[in-house]
Structures are given as C-alpha cells and as structure tokens.
A and B are shown apart, each in its own frame.
Chain A
Amino acid sequence: EPEVTQTPSHQVTQMGQEVILRCVPISNHLYFYWYRQILGQKVEFLVSFYNNEISEKSEIFDDQFSVERPDGSNFTLKIRSTKLEDSAMYFCASSEVGGETQYFGPGTRLLVL
C-alpha cells in the first residue's frame, strides 16, 4: 500500500541553523500539507500546497518557514533560522484532489538546542 515517507526521522540542530525536512507524498496525490506537534500538545496545521503554490497557511507559518516541491516527488519544509520553540514533531500529509482524507507520514522529530 502506498505511503507517505519522511526524512530524516530525527534531526538535532543548533538554534539559528537552517533545517530542511523532506517528504515524499503518495504518488498520485496533488495536495500536500505540513503539520507540527509540540510534545504533549495537539497537532497544528502549518501549510497546504497545491499546483506549486501555497493554498493556505496558518499564523505559525511565518517568514522563517518556506515550502517547495523541487521535483516531481519531493515536498520540503525549510526553517531558515531555527528557534528553541521550533522543537516539535513535523508531519507531512498528502491527499488526492477532491479526496477528503489526508494520509500522514511517520514524522520528523526536530530538536533545537
């Protein structure tokens, strides 16, 4: 069964450094999403992406964040200058156009020191 994959599974970085989180959505899906979950808290929406542009973003998704689909398979989330409060689990998800269900990847655990 097709699944969303994410790399790396864990990332440790120093405050102020740039990180890129990678996702490979399910191949026939055209909507892509990033969510984050701070430890012990609920899952929060960051951004959705369709047709090579952001379709919606939350107030969390400020200028420090960017997304890109650099090729036909990868979908990336970049954090330009990480802060301690960016430490969280980051989930990528994808869905078909018109599909109501989003399928999640296993997540990347980001720790900012």
Chain B
Amino acid sequence: AQTVTQSQPEMSVQEAETVTLSCTYDTSESDYYLFWYKQPPSRQMILVIRQEAYKQQNATENRFSVNFQKAAKSFSLKISDSQLGDAAMYFCAYRSFRGAQKLVFGQGTRLTINP
C-alpha cells in the first residue's frame, strides 16, 4: 500500500520570504499523481498544485512550485513571496494512475506566516 509522509508538523516563514514543505512517499507503481492541498482555518480542502509522475518538468502555479524527485520519491512544495493568506495546513497526497482513485494523504504541515 502507498504511504505519504510529511516530516515537518509545523513550519514558519516571514512574509515575502520563501519556504519549502517536504513530502516523501512510498510506492511500487511507476505512474501516479501527486498533489498539494491547502486547508485554511475554514477547513476547506483547496487544491494548490498537482504533478503527473510521467512528466519530468516540475509543476508551477504562480508563486507555488514543486520539486519532484521521482527516484528519491520526494515531492516538496516551494512557496515564494509568502503572503499572510498562505497560512494554512498543507497536505501532500498521492493517487494511483490506474485502478484505485482514492487519495492517500500525509499528516500535514501547519504553515505560519510571520508579518
């Protein structure tokens, strides 16, 4: 079974600085998807960014980018120019390419933005 590990329970960053959140996963599959979801205090789950494992190019979405290292099974999220609205719980998630559609989540990283 696939597992996702986020080893940083909490992170903090100064406003306008850059922060990187770590995620590692374990799978025997070669094709899959990886996601970062954001959960603000309202507790809604909001998609931040996704990466297809067959793509070598790292995904980017405005200030958010990932560093996908397939061989190392690592999928980190970089947030540039951090803003107060980025404060949230961030979850890394894995989904198989075929078959099981379920998302497997990591434990989450609570990100605090210091003004």
Contacts and interface: CB of A to CB of B under 8 A. Distances in A.
Given A42-B91, A42-B108, A43-B91, A103 B103 contact: no
Most buried by A among B33, B47, B103: B103
Interface in A1-52: 31, 33, 35, 37, 41-45, 48
Contacts of B95: 100, 102
A95 interface: yes
A contact patch SS: strand
A89 interface: yes
Interface of B: 33, 35, 37, 42-47, 50, 52, 91, 93, 95, 100-108
Interface of A: 31, 33, 35, 37, 41-45, 48, 55-56, 58, 89, 91, 93, 95, 100-107, 109
22 contacts: A31-B101, A33-B102, A33-B103, A37-B43, A41-B107, A42-B91, A42-B107, A43-B103, A43-B105, A44-B105, A45-B102, A56-B101, A100-B33, A100-B50, A101-B50, A102-B95, A104-B37, A104-B44, A104-B46, A106-B42, A107-B45, A109-B43
